[in-house]
Amino acid sequence: EYDPIKQTVTYPPELVINNQNYSTDSWTNVTPHILSRIGQNLHKQKHHPLCHLSSRLRQYFYQQYDPRKLSPKFSIIDNLSPIVTVEQNFDSICIPKDHVSRTKSMNYYINANTLLRAHTSAHQVDLIRSGLDAFLCIGDVYRRDSIDPTHYPIFHQCEGVQLFNKEQLFVDNKNVRGETKDLQIFAANEHRDATKQEGHTLEAVKLVEASLKQTITDLFKTLFPDASTLNSRWVDATFPFTHPSWEYEVEIDGKWYELLGCGIMEHHVLENSGLGRDHIGWAFGLGLERIAMIMYGIPDIRLFWSNDSGFLSQFAFDDSTRSVRYKPISIYPQCINDLSMWLGKAKIDPLDFYDLVRTIGGDLVEQVMLTDEFYHKKKDRHSQTYRIIYRSPDRTLTKNEINMIHKDIERYCIAQFGAEIR
């Protein structure tokens, strides 16, 4: 039996996922709601908007040919299992042992060693090891996160990586005798600063940066043909596995949206992949939902999981480059319910509360916020108020239906936290 709060007490000793057995332990925190979505592979479901977008990414990158191999330069991998090791998701790409992104409160762990990948970067090292020097890796990723119209605990990413050796990088920088021998990717005395890693020459870094930014900018021009109206910008960023790093943002209706993170790959990642001091490369990771929402005008991230024909039928066409705008069938009303409660000496971790609400309310929950929190000295008790906004993405909910869910949430809070509803 699943108990969203005292998860460890009630997990069976083993979970069976995709016919594989995984032992559970004190790290286990995957929820049934999440497990039920493994294997749905929206990015491969015919006519699904995420599948149309995947096809467009594929088409864009397949245009580039490797003149020596007479085959597309980029390999495209979209079928890797989302169940990965801690080594793959974090260690292999140099995420420090004490980094916050590793915590139970941010991830869905199956056990202390195994989790649902939090990003497609988990596969960088394996794919480079397998011999690839240019690839896309597309798949579902899982994170415990806030609840609102642009965040969902499962979304899809596309990782892109391109590596260059000296000949590939300096191909347009030959001297009059057709040689590149005076140019180097690596030099002994180079130190790390804001513009580059230790050991890298600035000229190599700048060429890779230009290739990365050119690729991304041109990709978005292709995805949004009327991009003259689309403002974009590069924002400096930090990732443990790239340096320097950037985020790419676009402006829609006066708001800036982050579409991807990217940068020059940390040389240690290439070393972990078995490469020596002869390659440099770029990597990016973009969110498919964010782009599809802009491309099709889809207002709510939960719609991607809708089985409603009113949604899916709007994408039932074969030509993925077709430009369509999503038309809401009608606007369904929101229903706002507050839950105020007295707790004991311990507060509820909002992330635990979000999981609880998502587990009980499923996709009928649009947004959850902690709206008030205080400590009453005399009573020696904490108080928390959460606002839960219910709305179905594709139908009108009845009052009764919402009340039943809301009452269930209250019951859990009473049973598990000794909460007293105010």
Q: Residues in the site for ligand FA5, rule: CB under 6 A?
A: 119, 121, 143, 145, 151-152, 155, 157, 159, 239, 242, 245, 258-263, 283-287, 289-290
Least spacing, CB of residue 70 vs ligand FA5, in Å: 29
Residue 63: what residue type?
A: Q
Nearer to ligand FA5, 369 or 397 (CB): 369
Alpha-carbon torsion (10, 12, 17, 21), positive or negative: positive
Long-range pairs of 71-74 with CB within 8 A, sequence gap ≥ 24: 73/134, 73/162, 74/134, 74/135, 74/136, 74/160, 74/162
Least spacing, CB of residue 92 vs ligand FA5, in Å: 12
Nearer to ligand FA5, 82 or 263 (CB): 263
Nearer to ligand FA5, 237 or 389 (CB): 237
Least spacing, CB of residue 238 vs ligand FA5, in Å: 10
Contact indicator for 211, 284 with CB cutoff of 8 Å:
no
Contact indicator for 160, 284 with CB cutoff of 8 Å:
yes
Least spacing, CB of residue 241 vs ligand FA5, in Å: 6
Contact indicator for 365, 353 with CB cutoff of 8 Å:
no
Return the structure tokens found at 63: 């245009």
Contact indicator for 151, 106 with CB cutoff of 8 Å:
no
Q: Give the whole-angstrom CA distance, residue 267 versus residue 200.
A: 9
> Residue 154 has what DSSP assignment?
E
Least spacing, CB of residue 152 vs ligand FA5, in Å: 5
Least spacing, CB of residue 146 vs ligand FA5, in Å: 8
Q: What are phi and psi of 393, to 5 degrees?
A: -70, -15
Q: Give the whole-angstrom CA distance, residue 403 versus residue 386.
A: 15
User: Cis peptide leading into 72, omega within 30 of 0?
Assistant: no
Nearer to ligand FA5, 28 or 124 (CB): 124
Nearer to ligand FA5, 213 or 395 (CB): 213
Indicate the helix (H) or strand (E) that contains 173. Answer: none
Least spacing, CB of residue 302 vs ligand FA5, in Å: 11
Nearer to ligand FA5, 289 or 394 (CB): 289
Q: Which residues pair with 160 in a beta bridge?
A: 136, 284
Least spacing, CB of residue 358 vs ligand FA5, in Å: 13
Nearer to ligand FA5, 298 or 343 (CB): 298
Residue 312: what residue type?
A: L
Q: Which residue is nearest to ligand FA5 (CB)?
A: 287
Could you tell me the CA-to-CA distances from 241 to 89, 124, 215, 234, 349 in Å, in that order? Answer: 11, 10, 20, 18, 30
Nearer to ligand FA5, 84 or 413 (CB): 84
